[in-house]
Amino acid sequence: MTTIQHAAANLPERSHLTAAQGDPFGNARAQLRDAVTILGYDDGMYELLANPRRELTVAVPLHRDSGEMELLIGHRVQHNVSRGPAKGGLRYSPDVTLDEVRALAMWMTWKCALLDVPYGGAKGGIRIDPRHYSCSELERVTRRYTSEISPLIGPDHDIPAPDVGTDEQTMAWIMDTYSVQKGHTVLGVSTGKPVSLGGSLGRATSTSRGVVHVALAALRSRGIQPEGATAAVQGFGKVGRHAARFLHDAGVRIVTVSDQYGAIRADGGLDIAVLEGHVDATGSVTGFADADPTSNDNLLAADVDLLVPAAVEGVIHVGNAMQVKATVVVEGANGPTTPEADRLLNAAGTLVVPDILANAGGVIVSYFEWVQANQAYWWGADEVETRLAKRMLTAWEHVSTHAEKLQVPLRTAATCLAVERVAQAALLRGLYP
């Protein structure tokens, strides 16, 4: 059984936490429009950057273990390849839509450019709830999807990585399926693989480590020392769980966390190691003996120094933004704050560290994995972590300095820096023919 399956069969139904609110693609385009206006580009450049370079929707037939046949729908979107091969995760979720994948691909383009990683942005998704499928069924889905999108992917074209609902095993299946088609092993076709199959040390926790590097810097920029600071972490999956642990290790008191089933709170601070054991045993943070139940709404409105939304898109919106009391919001998820909510938070003096900066640790170490695979030479964990920290903190300094210079929010500064780099690459390359 892989980690993308929940063993507990008696878990409650998913809460509204999993349902993205608003229009993620519209939000992404609105952010781009603001940056294009500030940078002085014309409508032609906006249209070039607002629309995906390529997108593919595929039918993924599956023979269930029961013998029944089921048809699933998958997508792969390459937003931009001006700066290098497309790069982006693959998510398995019942909430996957083409517009969501388009938005995530665009955000990946800006993320790679901002962190000066030589990639363009891509994203993939299959509309499936992996908890309701066996490991062998998920393997068949992954291999068929890989076969369908194989004309678009490759180490020099488009490199998938794990995302919501997928893991290192998924990436191993992708690598093997693609390699069988090519007739030889191609380790660089996917990242986030098991270390024994060409994965990089530190990749599994890289997004969370990046979030924490930036979160600690953001707290200090507001005169808040991490030791004794308080935090709320929304989402206890790939990103939120490790972020909570690393924040706890840095001295931050985690007072409330949530997952797709509910939320818990302990004003004296949660023992993250004990909570992780509870989640491993039950599949959820709910029912943790050393905390009281609360709601996701209460978590977002918690009176804490730091809020880390690390679940899905659109959870901070115009209806709840004014209830956010955190001094610093660090976006562990992609697109957790709608543009309207972002404006309200900025007007209220909340420091919002945008997703394209905050959660870029994953793509940075994916890049490291790709480089190592191409060289057939692997780095030690300390080297990976040192390089990751340097990249994240350098980007933080660039963005915060640019924001201060332009007197704009961090998101605007980050998006402008990223869009300018992509636009410059497009202009230098020119149009063909």
Q: Which tens digit of pLDDT belongs to each residue from 29-53?
A: 998 999 999 999 999 999 999 999 9
Confidence of residue 77 (pLDDT cuts 50, 70, 90): very high
Strand extents, DSSP E, 32-174: 54-63, 69-80, 86-93, 120-127, 158-162
Distance between terminal CA atoms of the chain? 50
Q: What are phi and psi of 307, to 5 degrees?
A: -120, 125
* 211 within 8 A of 237, measured Cβ to Cβ: no
Confidence of residue 12 (pLDDT cuts 50, 70, 90): very low
Asked whether the domain spanning 206-353 has the same topology as the one spanning 16-25+52-186, the reply is yes
Distance between CA atoms of residues 99 and 243, nearest Å: 28
Give the total residue count for the chain: 433
Strands 328-330 and 306-309: parallel
Among the listed residues 35, 24, 28, 76, the one whose alpha carbon sits nearest the alpha carbon of residue 53: 76
Which amino acid would we find at residue 227? E
Is residue 268 pLDDT above 60, yes or no?
yes
**How many other C-beta atoms lie within 10 A of the C-beta of residue 407?**
8
344 Cβ partners below 8 Å, 6+ apart?
318, 321, 322
Q: Which one of the listed residues 111, 123, 193, 238 is annotated catalytic?
A: 123
Annotation marks residue 238 as catalytic: no
414 Cβ partners below 8 Å, 6+ apart?
110, 114, 354, 356, 357, 399, 402, 403
The CA radius of gyration of the chain, in Å to the nearest whole number, is 20
Predicted confidence at residue 312, as pLDDT, reads 82
Distance between CA atoms of residues 334 and 125, nearest Å: 14
Which amino acid would we find at residue 58? V
Q: What is the domain partition of the chain in residue ranges?
A: 16-25+52-186, 206-353
Which amino acid would we find at residue 134? S
Distance between CA atoms of residues 416 and 422, nearest Å: 10
Predicted TM-score (pTM) of the model is 0.86
Report which secondary-structure segment, H or E, holds 302.
none
Q: What is the DSSP letter of 333?
A: S
* 193 within 8 A of 369, measured Cβ to Cβ: yes
Distance between CA atoms of residues 191 and 365, nearest Å: 9
Strand extents, DSSP E, 64-219: 69-80, 86-93, 120-127, 158-162
Is residue 313 pLDDT above 90, yes or no?
no
16-25+52-186 CATH, one of 3.40.50.10860, 3.40.50.720, 1.10.340.30, 3.40.1190.20: 3.40.50.10860
Among the listed residues 188, 238, 164, 232, the one whose alpha carbon sits nearest the alpha carbon of residue 208: 238
Confidence of residue 319 (pLDDT cuts 50, 70, 90): very high
Distance between CA atoms of residues 146 and 138, nearest Å: 12
Confidence of residue 22 (pLDDT cuts 50, 70, 90): low
Taking only the tens place, the pLDDT of each residue in 222-259 is: 999 999 899 999 999 989 999 999 999 999 999 999 99
* 21 within 8 A of 338, measured Cβ to Cβ: yes
68 Cβ partners below 8 Å, 6+ apart?
none
The class level of CATH for 206-353 reads: alpha beta
